[in-house]
Chain A
Amino acid sequence: MNAAVRSPLPREAAPTGHDQPLPLPERAAGTKAHNGLAVSVRGLEKHYGERQVLRGLSLDIARGSFVAIVGRSGCGKSTLLRIVAGLEQADGGKLDVGTSSCACEQRPDIRLMFQDARLLPWKSVIDNVRLGLPRSALPAARAALRDVGLEDRARDWPAALSGGQRQRVALARALVHRPQLLLLDEPLGALDALTRIEMHALIERLWREHGFTALLVTHDVQEAVALADRVVVIEDGAIGLDQAVALPRPRARGSQAFAALEDRVLTQVLQQHADRPDAPASLEEQTDALRLATARWVI
C-alpha cells in the first residue's frame, strides 16, 4: 500500500523526479514509495576548539536509500549526523539536502531520532507523538502510533513505558511528520539484544513503507549490515570504507554472505584502533562537554 494513501496528513511536495528509476534495484520491486531526500556532503569540516572532528568528509546518499555509518566513539559520526540535522553548523565544506542547500533547523522533512527517546515526561504518549503539530493532527498521530504497535498506550505517561516502547514512540513522533530524511543517532544503543532485533524489523518495515531516506549512525556492525544498503566506516573524521550491502531483504543474520560482510566492516573498524592505540577513549564525552559549554540559553 502506498504510504501517501495511508497518510491522513497532506504530504509534503516530494522532490522532483517521480519517473526516475530508484537508485537501488532491490528496492524498486518491494516498494511503491517515490520520496526521500538525497544528501550530498562535500569536504565537510568541523572542529571543537583545537580538536578537529571532521576532516574534509565527502559522502553522497541516494534518495530513498538506507545508509549506515559505523565508527568508533569520537570518530565524528554523530557530529556528521547532527550537522545534517541542522543541530550544528559545519566550519567548512558544503552540505546539500534535497534541493535546498540549507540544512536549517526546523525543516519538517528532516527528522532525527536520538539515542535516548527524549520523550517529554509531562505529556502523554499521544501528545508526545503530535508534538509541534496542531490538534487536527491527532488522527495522524494515532495512525503513527498504530504503525509502531503502541496504539493502546496512547494515554499513558512515558514513564510507564519500557525502553524499547519509548523508542517506538520516538519513531512514531518522527514519522508523523512524514519525513523525507530520517536520521537515526544510535537509537537502539541502550536497548537489549532482543528488543534491538524487533526494532530492526520495525525500522526496516517502516522505511520500506514510507520510502524516506534513512541515515543510521551506530557502533553495532551487525545492526548496520542488517539494515543498510550501504555501510560507511568513518575513521578519524574521514571515510575509511564504503561498503555496499547487496543482500536480499529480509536479511538472515546467519547467512554466510552476511557474516562475511560483517567481518569485513568489523575488521576495518578494529584495524583503525590498532593503528592509533593512543586515541583517547572519551573523545565523545569531550565533544559533549564542549557542546554544552557553547549552548545558548535564550528561547
Chain B
Amino acid sequence: MSTSNHIQLHRRFGSTILPWLLPLLILAAWEYSARSGLLSTRVLPEPWAVAKAAWHLVQTGELWSNLKVSAGRAFAGLAIGGGLGLLLGLLTGLFVPAQVALDTTLQMLRNIPPLAMIPLVILWFGIDEGAKLFLVALGVFFPLYLNTFHGIRTVDRNLIEMARSYGLSGWRLYRDVILPGALPSILVGLRFSLGLMWVLLIVAETISSSSGIGYMTMNAREFLQTDVVLVGILLYALLGKIADVAAKGLERVCLRWHPSYQ
C-alpha cells in the first residue's frame, strides 16, 4: 500500500515538476548571460528587467486594458469563424447534398494561407477592427470545419445502426450518438483553432492598431524598450498556454467516458 502511494507521489512529482524544469533552466542561463554582459540589453534584457517592466505595466493599467482588447478580438474571431466552421462541418457531415455542394469549394479555399489575404483584407476593411476579426475568423474556421466534418463521418456506423434499431432517429440520434461520437475530433479542431487564433491576432495587431498587446509591443519597439517587447511576447505565450489548458480541461470534462481520460 505504502509502496503504491510512494510510486503515485513519484508520478505526480514527475508529471507536475518535470515539464517546468527546462524552462527554468533556460531562464537561469538567460539571467546569467545578461548579468555577465554576454548579452547586450538591446538584444535581450535580463529576466529581472522584464519582470519589472511587466509590473510597471500592470501598475499603470496599460497591460490590463491592452490585454482586454486583444482577448476580446481573439474570442470574437473565434466565435465567428469557429462557430461558422462548426456549423458548416455539421451540415456537410450530416447531409450528403450539402457536402457535394460545399466541400470542394471549402477545400480549395483551405489551401490559401490566411496571412496571404492580408493585402486584400486591408483593401476590404482598411486597418480597423474588421480586418483583425476577419483574419482571425478565417484562420480558425478551417480546423474546426475539417475536424467536425471528419468527426461526424467517422462515427461508428455500427453504433448508428444499433441506435436506429432501438428507435432513435432525427434529433435524438444526433444528440445521443452522432454528436458525442464526433466530439473527440471536434475538440481536436478547437485546439488547433485556439493555437491559430493567437498567431493570427499577433500578425493582425502588429500590422496596425492603436490598442492591444500587438500595439503595445510595436510601440515599445519604436522607443527601444526591449523589456516591454519581451513582456508582450511572453504575454502571447502565456495566453496561448492558457487557451490550450482550457481546451484540455474541456476535453477532460467532455470526454470523461473515454478510456484515455480515465
Contact = CB atoms under 8 A, between A and B. Distances in A.
A120 B177 contact: yes
A121 B166 contact: no
A299 B180 contact: no
Given A87-B165, A105-B165, A159-B262, A297 B94 contact: yes
28 contacts: A85-B165, A87-B161, A106-B165, A106-B166, A106-B167, A106-B169, A114-B158, A114-B162, A118-B159, A118-B161, A118-B162, A122-B180, A122-B181, A122-B183, A122-B258, A123-B176, A131-B163, A131-B168, A157-B256, A157-B262, A159-B257, A159-B259, A177-B166, A298-B94, A298-B95, A299-B170, A299-B174, A299-B178
Contacts of A159: 257-259, 262
A295 B153 CA distance: 12
Interface string A98-119: 0000000110100110101010
Q: How large is the interface on B (under 10, 10 to 19, 20 to 34, 35 or more residues)?
A: 20 to 34
A86 B166 CA distance: 11
Nearest to B177: A120
Contacts of A123: 176, 180, 257
A120 B168 CA distance: 13
The majority secondary structure among interface residues of chain A is loop
Given A120-B177, A120-B180, A132 B166 contact: yes
A112 B259 CA distance: 26
A18 B231 CA distance: 84
B259 A86 contact: no
B96 interface: yes
The majority secondary structure among interface residues of chain B is helix
A120 B176 contact: yes
Given A106-B164, A106-B165, A121-B258, A295 B176 contact: no
Given A157-B256, A299-B173, 5 more contacts: A118-B159, A120-B180, A121-B258, A177-B166, A297-B94
B164 A121 contact: no
B94 A299 contact: yes
Interface string B226-262: 0000000000000000000000000000011111001
A105 B166 CA distance: 9
Contact of A295 (B157, B162, B170): B157
Q: How large is the interface on A (under 10, 10 to 19, 20 to 34, 35 or more residues)?
A: 20 to 34
Interface of A: 85-87, 105-106, 108, 111-112, 114, 116, 118, 120-123, 131-132, 157-160, 173, 177, 292, 295-299
B171 to A, nearest CB: 8
A116 B259 CA distance: 18
A118 B180 CA distance: 14
B101 to A, nearest CB: 14
Given A87-B165, A106-B167, A297-B94, A122 B157 contact: no
A131 B96 contact: no
Contacts of A298: 94-96
A131 B166 contact: yes
A116 B158 contact: yes
A86 B262 contact: no
* B163, B166, B168 — most chain A CB neighbours (10 Å): B166
Contact of A120 (B96, B159, B172, B258): B159
A173 B95 CA distance: 30
Contact of A108 (B164, B167, B258): B167
Nearest to B156: A118
B116 to A, nearest CB: 34
B118 to A, nearest CB: 38
Contacts of A114: 158, 162
A159 to B, nearest CB: 4
Interface string B73-104: 00000000000000000000011100000000
A217 B173 CA distance: 27
A298 B96 CA distance: 7
B96 to A, nearest CB: 6
B96 A297 contact: yes
A297 B153 CA distance: 9
A66 B58 CA distance: 78
Contacts of A296: 96
A92 B163 CA distance: 27
Contacts of A160: 262
A159 B259 CA distance: 6
A292 to B, nearest CB: 7
